[in-house]
Amino acid sequence: MDKNKPFLSVAMIVKDEENNLPRCLESLKDFVDEFVIVDTGSSDRTVEIAKKYTDKIYFYQWNNDFSAARNYSLQFPTGEWVFIVDADEEATEEMKKGLRDYLKKLPKDVNTVYLPTISYLDWSFEMQEVASSARIFRNGTVRFENIVHNQAIYQPKVDYAPFSLLHYGYIWTRKLKQKKHARTANLIREHLKQAKDINEKVYYLVQLYKTETVSPHYWSHVRVGWEIANLITKVQTVPTIALEFMYIFGMELISNQIKEGEKLLNACLRLAPEYPDPYCGFAIKYFNEREYQKAYEFAKEYFRVLDAVMAEKEKFTWTINSLKERDKIAGIMVTTALEMDDKEYVDKYLDEVIEMKDLNLKATFIGAIMLVFSKKSAEFFEKYGYVFEKILEIAFTNRIGFPMKDLLINMVKNRVVISERAISLLKNFPVSNKLEFWLREKAIKPDYDFVYSYFLSDTPEDNFLDIYGIPGLVFLYYLKKDYYEPENIIKWLHSLSKKTENALFKGLIEALIGDTYLRLKNVRNALNYYKKAAQNNPLISKFIKPIIEDLKTTLIDLDIDGVADDLWKYY
């Protein structure tokens, strides 16, 4: 680098940044010609560290005005371009390799360059936000205004460069969070007292709202939120930061079932259809409301819009908050695509569900996906058996349980066939009672009758019925009817009727005998037993009456469902 004729200078204002500064300067030193560092009152090793990289260190008496400090720093760079960087940021490898040559090739009438910033929100670096801002300026063409969240007043033309900065400043300890909240909130309130117009007021109220979200007092940010919501209804245009607010506050209202939240998301979508966040919001909303068709459509749109933004993130000048929800939308996408039988989107996002780091989120979607399988046919299992197996695999690996009863009942009912690996995995999941244990064995071996050979091997049938009562009888009938001749079922039911004096129990037995005669197409006997059942057990008469009406009116078509299916669902 030619130190006598700097091409690219970095201008920084710092205070107590000994933990961040080395990482930042190390990432910049190989492609930057000059560091200008203005210290605003450090009491740690910040200045000592800075001296290892530059002798252009200046001191500024802090006066609660970020723009004043920033403008002070701008008088010292001598490079053709000035790059504004904060100590809690770091250059990416792409920036190190490409930014310098990119700037050299820009036309002479370009004075301002936007760069995307990827802000990490936790130390796993999984949660992040992205926004692009003006960062590089031809020397002498920029100044800053406003005491906090200072805004660059720059000259055109503007270019958008595809080189990201990494920002670690949002990963706060509780102590630092409280300190930053108190300082920033007070500065914003001071500035709001002199806000020049309504758009400026909206801008800084949104900054205050975002700051107050880390306040220990919940209602402080809610009050600001409602003030903004009321204010933006009175203007024709809003600053782009208001779109971030519409999403964040809209989602908070929706989570509390307040209808204005949906209005804010709709307004956000109308004003900026190229913004991914409202699609994310609606996908989550409709998924939570079990409106899978709508959730599916919004999840698809979210990924379409997000992919377009991320391909040119340097051009997106407000924060994409929904990046931290990407895993959740991937889970929604897989779950709803399964429901919609859209194999393309199941396959496209399944790996993202499998690789989720958040175990609570992973557990949520394992449960949701298994719920879909609990309602599907044997043909569906055949088509998506690989998904079923993978979900079982990650549930087993991560020791994540899920409700099994409905899934197993469906597998038994539809004689579902699954892979040997899925069978092996299913056997290792705990069951909550003996009924679930039997169902699991029956699901694994659908052609084997376990009713007596296993399930009742140590529980005589009479004892079983004493324990489980009417639901137990429905359960036994439902299973026996597919494996025994109707005549034998009738004999079995008559034998049970002789053993009980319970009118309700007798009524249920008579209804099931009616069902069995219906299978034999013996309408006369079916009607007789249904009528007896209704008399003995008024509780099930609501299930019987529609069948009796159908039988009275049909002459030829006897394809009528009996009462057992409804009783099965009921009990």
The structural domains of the chain, with segments of one domain joined by +, span 8-167, 456-570
Burial readout 233-248 (b: 16 or more C-beta within 10 A, e: otherwise)? eeeeebbbbbbbbbbb
Report how far apart the first and last C-alpha atoms of the chain are (Å, whole number).
80
pLDDT of residue 452: 52
**pLDDT of residue 277 exceeding 90:** yes
pLDDT of residue 172: 59
Task: Output the CA torsion sign for 335, 341, 346, 348.
Answer: negative
CB neighbours of 249 closer than 8 A, spacing ≥ 6?
209, 225, 228, 229, 261, 264
Mean pLDDT across 310-335: 91
pLDDT of residue 448: 56
Mean pLDDT across 458-462: 66
Average pLDDT, the chain: 88
Residue 272's region, left for phi above 0, alpha for psi from -120 to 50, else beta, is beta
287, 335 in Cβ contact below 8 A? yes
Q: Give Cα 479 distance to the centre of its chain.
A: 40
**pLDDT of residue 468 exceeding 80:** no
**pLDDT of residue 456 exceeding 70:** no
Element holding 8 (H helix, E strand): strand 8-14
Alpha helices (H) along 105-213 = 174-192, 198-212
Closest residue by Cα to residue 521 from 559, 567, 564 = 559
Q: pLDDT tier at 2 (50, 70, 90 boundaries)?
A: low
Residue 498 in tokens:
């002789």
Q: pLDDT tier at 1 (50, 70, 90 boundaries)?
A: very low
Mean pLDDT across 502-516: 90
Burial readout 101-123 (b: 16 or more C-beta within 10 A, e: otherwise)? ebbeebeeeebbbbbbbbbbbee
Could you tell me which residue, 81 or 202, shows the higher pLDDT?
81
Residue 68 in tokens:
């004043």
Residue 78 in tokens:
């001598």
* CA pair distance 16, 174, nearest whole angstrom: 17
* CA pair distance 231, 271, nearest whole angstrom: 16
- Mapped onto helix, strand or coil, the DSSP state of residue 83 is strand
**Is 8-167 a domain of CATH 3.90.550.10?**
yes
Q: pLDDT tier at 432 (50, 70, 90 boundaries)?
A: confident
Q: pLDDT tier at 447 (50, 70, 90 boundaries)?
A: low
pLDDT of residue 177: 56
Instruction: Say which DSSP state 540 is in.
Output: G
133-149 residue pLDDT tens: 999 999 999 999 886 67
pLDDT of residue 571: 65
Could you tell me which residue, 4 or 343, shows the higher pLDDT?
343
Lowest mean pLDDT segment, chosen from 262-276, 361-375, 452-466: 452-466
Burial class (CB in 10 A: 0-12, 13-18, 19+), 495: exposed
**Fold adopted by 456-570:** 1.25.40
Q: pLDDT tier at 17 (50, 70, 90 boundaries)?
A: very high
**pLDDT of residue 561 exceeding 80:** no
pLDDT of residue 367: 96
Closest residue by Cα to residue 279 from 308, 239, 314, 237 = 308
CB neighbours of 444 closer than 8 A, spacing ≥ 6?
418, 423, 426, 427
Alpha helices (H) along 289-375 = 292-311, 326-340, 343-354, 359-373
Could you tell me which residue, 176 or 252, shows the higher pLDDT?
252
pLDDT of residue 554: 57
**pLDDT of residue 36 exceeding 70:** yes
**pLDDT of residue 109 exceeding 60:** yes
Mean pLDDT across 477-488: 81
pLDDT of residue 24: 97
Helix 326-340, helix 359-373: angle, nearest 10:
10
Could you tell me which residue, 387 or 531, shows the higher pLDDT?
387
HSE-CB at 380 with a 13 A cutoff on CA atoms is 18
- Mapped onto helix, strand or coil, the DSSP state of residue 205 is helix
Mean pLDDT across 391-419: 92
pLDDT of residue 381: 97
Beta-ladder partners of 12: 37
What share of the chain has pLDDT > 90, as a percent? 53
**pLDDT of residue 236 exceeding 90:** no
Instruction: Say which DSSP state 429 is in.
Output: S
pLDDT of residue 433: 80
